[in-house]
Amino acid sequence: MAKMRTVYNCGDCGASHHKWAGKCDSCGAWNSLVEDVEDPNEVTTLAAGMALVPPGEAQPINQLDAAVAKPMPTGISELDRVLDGGLVPGSVTLVGGEPGIGKSTLLLQLLSSWPTKSLYVTAEESAQQVRMRAERLHALRDDLWLLSEASITNIISAIEKVKPELIVIDSIQAVADPALGSAPGSVVQVRGCAHRLVQEAKRRNIPTILVGHVTKEGGLAGPRVLEHVVDTVLSFEGERHHALRIMRAVKHRFGSTSELGLFEMTELGLVGVPDASKMFLADRKPGTPGSVVVPTLEGQRPLLVEVQALTNATSGNAPARRSAQGLDPGRLAMLLAVLERRARISLSQHEVYASVVGGVKLNDPGSDLGLCLALVSAATNTPAPGDVVVCGEVGLGGEIRHVGHMSRRLAEAARLGFTRAIVPASGDYSQKGLTLQPASTLSEALAIAQLNGR
Ligand code: TYD
Ligand code: MG
């Protein structure tokens, strides 16, 4: 038997190094290398697994049947939207997210709506804990089997015995192979166990879902280690103190990655939010200075969100405070500079707070103009018109630039009852129910919104 050897694996990307270093050569992460032991037999076991698969034969592409892998709906419509239809037989899906975001909750709900026999393997919680949660979620059913186990060998024998048609492993970091010398959660363990489960899923042709925790510190072997092993990577995101949860596909071998699913965490678990714009605007108080509605896009999905700003004059020479929530602070700083130079509105002697309501993160440059108007509205204590949405990217010259998918954004604004939109003058847009007010510069947009500065 070959000897175990010490290696240093990157907890972020999984790259293996022979020597310790402060920085991973492969992904550039700092302090991410962790000592591990590598078992040369792991490779042999994997090779043996591969040998079970019959040898492939090349075929003309036109003679292949493309319809073999039809997705099976999960019964959770927001999830099916992200998966482009559902779970494909034999596919392995990794669901990543920070602890406490709601991965176990969502998957338990999925298992309870799955039409056939399913197996939930909990490697972190006791079977009683899971049962209690399932009771609260009204997720108890005869076809849902539960196993509290962390050893991969025992998990695979349970799969053999139960013969489920859907498997959920919660979480892959807590599963370990006792034959591999390294600690549970290490790169070697996570990769080794995931490989075994992938083989099992392909061999039995059943969908398998692996839960993977992501921590900001990268303390555990991150899901990035597994991205190339699985077919689909879903990322479950949200602010812990907000109810909104967003599910995105980061990688999807069976469909598009552009859709996203929206959920709200409630007393009864996660509830799909088919009309997110309505939810985000529910608490809006039109007529408040500093509030502007922006039609943004999350993936392919149009969303109306409220951007808010608050400014406060400061005294003294210390740099005024800037705070951005749900927005890039660098973008806020740039827009403040553009406002000062191109529209002669200086907030250098003001504290500036800007935020996006509802726990949404705006990365869309189309929200620039809305944020500028919110800032000026706050600074001049003048409300922006309540029936207006604002969309456009702001350039360093103070020019308003075209943004993508305008028709989808404007249609969403019209659907929610807005009657006017300030849009880039360079585009040729139209939308039934909306009066479009084109602006080519920041100053023009401020004049249209009757926010003419001081
Ligand atoms: P959980 O699914 O355990 O998160 P993860 O598996 O991603 O670590 O969910 C954790 C949080 O969700 C927990 O703090 C409580 C909250 N929660 C609800 O608000 N409603 C519910 O019905 C459930 C089950 C959980
Ligand atoms: Mg969990």
pLDDT digits (tens, 9 = 90+) for 406-449: 999 999 999 999 999 999 999 889 999 999 999 999 999 999 99
Nearest atom of ligand 1 to the alpha carbon of 98: 7
- pLDDT for 181: 80
Nearest CA to ligand 1 atom 17: 269
- pLDDT for 219: 41
Nearest atom of ligand 1 to the alpha carbon of 97: 7
Please name the CATH architecture into which domain 40-50+73-273 falls: 3-Layer(aba) Sandwich (3.40)
- pLDDT for 2: 54
- pLDDT for 454: 45
Mutate to test the pocket of ligand 1, among 105, 129, 133 (most ligand atoms within 8 A of CB): 105
265 Cβ inside 6 Å of ligand 1 = yes
Nearest atom of ligand 1 to the alpha carbon of 105: 2
Please name the CATH architecture into which domain 279-448 falls: 2-Layer Sandwich (3.30)
- pLDDT for 259: 81
> Which residues of the chain carry a pLDDT beneath 50?
1, 49, 51, 218-220, 454
- pLDDT for 3: 65
- pLDDT for 217: 55
Q: Rounded CA gap, 384 and 451, in Å?
A: 7
- pLDDT for 101: 92
Rounded to the nearest whole angstrom, what is the distance from the C-alpha of residue 100 to the centroid of ligand 1? 6
The domain limits of the chain are 1-38, 40-50+73-273, 279-448
- pLDDT for 214: 82
104 Cβ inside 6 Å of ligand 1 = yes
- pLDDT for 220: 45
Nearest atom of ligand 1 to the alpha carbon of 106: 2
pLDDT digits (tens, 9 = 90+) for 43-65: 555 555 454 556 778 888 888 77
